[in-house]
Structure 1
Amino acid sequence: MSCRELFPRAVIGGYLDTAAEGLPAPGVTEAVAEYLREKGRGTPGRLRHFGIETEARALAADLLGAPVTDTVFLPTASDALNILAASLPWQAGDRVVTTDLEFPSNLLPWLALRERGVDVQVVASHGGALQLEDFTAAIDRRTRLVTVSQVSYKTGAWFPHTEALGDAVHAVGGVLCVDATQALGRCPVPLAGVDFLMASTFKWLLGLHGAAVTYMSPLLRERFALAGVGWYSVDNAMAAVRTGTYDLKSGAACLVAGMPNFAALYAITASLKWLLSLDLAVERKRADLLTRHLRERLAALGLPLLTPEGDDYTSGIVSFEHPEGEQIMRQLGEHGVVVWGGDGRVRASVHYYSDESDLQLLVEALQKVLAR
Structure 2
Amino acid sequence: MLTSESRRRDFPTLDGRAYLNTAAEGVPPLAVGEALAQYFRDKQLGMDGRVPHAAQWEAARALTAEFLGLTAAEIGICSCSSEAYNLAALALQLQPGDEVICTDLDFPASSTPWLQPACPATLRLWKHRSGALHVEDLIPLLSPRTRLVNVSLVSFYNGFTVALPPIVEAVRKHSPALLGVDVTQAIGRIPLDLRGADLIVSSTHKWILASHGGGLVGVPKDRAKEWTAPAGGWFNLEDAFGPGSFEAVKSKPGAASFMVGMPNYPALYAVRAGLEYLRGVGVANIDAHARPLVLHCLTELRKLPVEVLTPDEPDHIAGILAFKHPKAAEINARLHAGNVHVMNPTGRLRVAVHGYNTHDDIERLLRELKAALAAV
Q: Offset of 1:170 from its aligned partner? A: 3.4
For the structure 1 residues 89 and 31, does the alpha-carbon distance in structure 2 shift closer, same or farther, using more than 3 Å as the test?
Answer: same
Per the alignment, residue 52 of structure 1 pairs with: 56
Greater shift, 16-25 or 239-248, is seen at 239-248
For 1:50, the aligned partner's letter is A
Q: Offset of 1:184 from its aligned partner? A: 0.8
User: For the residues of structure 1 that align with 2:167 and 2:56, how far apart are their CA atoms?
Assistant: 35
Greater shift, 220-229 or 255-264, is seen at 220-229
Is 1:263–2:263 an aligned residue pair?
Answer: no
Greater shift, 173-182 or 229-238, is seen at 229-238
Per the alignment, residue 171 of structure 2 pairs with: 169
Alignment of 1:7-46 (within 5 A): 7-46=11-50
User: For the residues of structure 2 that align with 1:115 and 1:241, how far apart are their CA atoms?
Assistant: 30
Per the alignment, residue 197 of structure 1 pairs with: 200
Deviations 1:120-167 (A, max 9, x none): 11111112111111111211111111111110111111111x233223
Per the alignment, residue 155 of structure 2 pairs with: 152
Alignment of 1:1-372 (within 5 A): 2=3, 3-5=6-8, 6-112=10-116, 115-160=118-163, 162-171=164-173, 172-372=175-375
User: What TM-score, normalized by structure 2, do the two folds share?
Assistant: 0.94
Contact 2:75 2:255 in 1 (8 A): yes
Say which SS state the counterpart of residue 149 (structure 2) adopts: strand
Deviations 1:32-77 (A, max 9, x none): 0000111112111111111100010001101111111111211000
Contact 2:294 2:319 in 1 (8 A): yes
Percent identity over the alignment is 35
Contact 1:150 1:189 in 2 (8 A): no
Structure 2, gaps ≥5 residues long:
none
Deviations 1:71-108 (A, max 9, x none): 12110000001111122131211111111111111221
Q: Offset of 1:317 from its aligned partner? A: 0.6
User: For the residues of structure 2 that align with 1:9 and 1:135, how far apart are their CA atoms?
Assistant: 43
For the structure 1 residues 240 and 115, does the alpha-carbon distance in structure 2 shift closer, same or farther, using more than 3 Å as the test?
Answer: closer
For 2:167, the aligned partner's letter is L
Say which SS state the counterpart of residue 342 (structure 1) adopts: coil
User: For the residues of structure 2 that align with 1:299 and 1:4, how far apart are their CA atoms?
Assistant: 29
Q: Offset of 1:262 from its aligned partner? A: 0.5
For the structure 1 residues 117 and 212, does the alpha-carbon distance in structure 2 shift closer, same or farther, using more than 3 Å as the test?
Answer: closer
Contact 1:26 1:271 in 2 (8 A): no
User: For the residues of structure 2 that align with 1:134 and 1:344, how far apart are their CA atoms?
Assistant: 27
Contact 1:80 1:214 in 2 (8 A): yes
Between the two proteins, the alignment pairs up a number of residues equal to: 370
For 1:35, the aligned partner's letter is Y
Contact 2:204 2:212 in 1 (8 A): yes
For 2:199, the aligned partner's letter is F
User: What TM-score, normalized by structure 1, do the two folds share?
Assistant: 0.95
For 2:342, the aligned partner's letter is V
User: For the residues of structure 1 that align with 2:318 and 2:215, how far apart are their CA atoms?
Assistant: 20
Superposition RMSD on alpha carbons, in Å? 1.6
Say which SS state the counterpart of residue 301 (structure 1) adopts: coil
For 1:195, the aligned partner's letter is D
Structure 1, gaps ≥5 residues long:
none
